Copies of this chain bind each other. A is one copy, B any other.
Amino acid sequence: MDAPLDTLIIDRLVRDALLEDLGDAGDITSLAVIPKIATATVVMRARQAGICAGLGFAQSAFALRDPLAEIQCCISDGDPMAAGDDVMIIKGSARALLSGERVALNFMGHLCGVATQTAELVAAVSGTSARICDTRKTLPGLRAAEKYAVRAGGGVNHRFGLYDAILIKDNHIAVAGSISEALDRARRYVGHMAAIEIEVDTLEQLNEALEAGAKVILLDNMSPQTLREAVERTAGRAQLEASGRVSLETVRAIAETGVDYISVGRITHSAPTLDLGLDIDLA
């Protein structure tokens, strides 16, 4: 994958995770048992099939532990892995690699898990025009990493936070009084560089939104039939995003309605870890 997460962001996350694991005393097991001069060759392997994501995090973890470690990636983020595949080979200080192992695996396991969940949904809608996207339902502190993993899995990112795009929901509409008033307020506040999306729950609301000139519309919790009707009414005047009750079983039917985007919280907040392990050859 050719578009990695920025290294400044990766290094900050990895450094914090290492400090979380090392505390004030450090890796007291390795300090007690492993001689300072011992070296090791470590192979990270997938123990389960899935999509690779997070190599930069593992590299950063090992490099921060041993700046002289030799690190070789066997595959790229975004690539599929079979159980048993080599992922990364690291040679360096035994103490250093052992003390970075868990942080490297914790990142890789979670990010591969997110990428794999995403890729399954992307595969399920293959051939339709729908793209799978994430939400702000991410684990605190890990949003940048998780959104990167979504891209590695073939998905596309929704907004990153409250700050980079407007999403007008039912409560906002209620306070503003109407869909058109809410859209007007939003357009006065932001300019041409912030997208404005509005959530609608019914086809009546969809009509209002289209009349008010909405360009991006979130269709919340609609059945495939209603979604199909929404696509027809919209007739290309706006981009349509479907959300709610999306699973591997339902996603294709939703995609086939013709919506442009399907957003899924589960790929970030409920992705089970992908099983990876380190085989260590101590010298």
Interface on A for B, CB 8 Å cutoff? 2-6, 8-9, 13-36, 38, 40, 64, 94, 98-99, 102-103, 105-107, 109-110, 113, 131, 133, 136-144, 147, 156-169, 171-172, 174-176, 182, 185-186, 188-195, 197, 216, 239, 241, 260-261, 265-266, 269-270, 272-273, 280, 282
In the complex, the chain B residue whose C-beta lies closest to that of A61 is: B140
Oligomer: number of copies: 6
Partner of A165 from the list B186, B189, B193 (CB cut-off 8 Å) is B193
B4, B26, B98, B186: which contacts A6 (Cβ < 8 A)? B26
Contacts of A163 in B (CB 8 A): 21-28, 160, 164
Query: What 5 pairs across the A-B complex have the smallest Cβ distances?
Result: A23-B163, A32-B189, A6-B26, A17-B140, A270-B272
Q: Which of A14, A162, A189, A266 has the most CB of B within 10 A?
A: A162
Q: CB distance B136 to A110 under 8 Å?
A: no
Q: Given that A24-B147, A25-B160 are known contacts, is A32 also in contact with B141, CB under 8 Å in the complex?
A: no
Residues of B contacting A280 with CB < 8 Å? 171
Instruction: Compute how far the CA of A123 lies from the CA of B280 in the bound complex, rounded to whole angstroms.
Output: 37
Tell me the complex Cα distance, A195–B174, Å. 27
* Cβ B137 vs Cβ A273 within 8 A: yes
A9 / chain B contacts, CB cutoff of 8 Å: 19, 22, 24, 26
Q: Within 8 Å CB of A195, what residues of B?
A: 192-195
**Can you name 26 A-B pairs with beta carbons within 8 Å?**
A3-B32, A3-B36, A6-B22, A20-B140, A22-B163, A23-B163, A23-B164, A24-B144, A25-B160, A25-B162, A27-B162, A30-B172, A33-B186, A34-B175, A35-B175, A98-B172, A99-B162, A106-B269, A109-B137, A139-B142, A156-B191, A159-B193, A164-B165, A192-B195, A193-B197, A272-B272
Interface pair A141/B33, CB less than 8 Å apart: no
Which of B28, B99, B142 makes the CB contact (< 8 A) with A190? Answer: B28
Chain B proximity of A36: nearest CB distance (Å) = 5
**Bound complex: CA of A31 vs CA of B182, how far in Å?**
11
- Which of A22, A27, A143, A193 counts the most chain B CB atoms within 10 A? A193
Beta-carbon contact of B282 and A175 below 8 Å: yes
Q: A34-B175, A110-B139 are in contact. Are A157 and B25 (CB under 8 A)?
A: yes
Docked CA distance A262–B242 (Å): 35
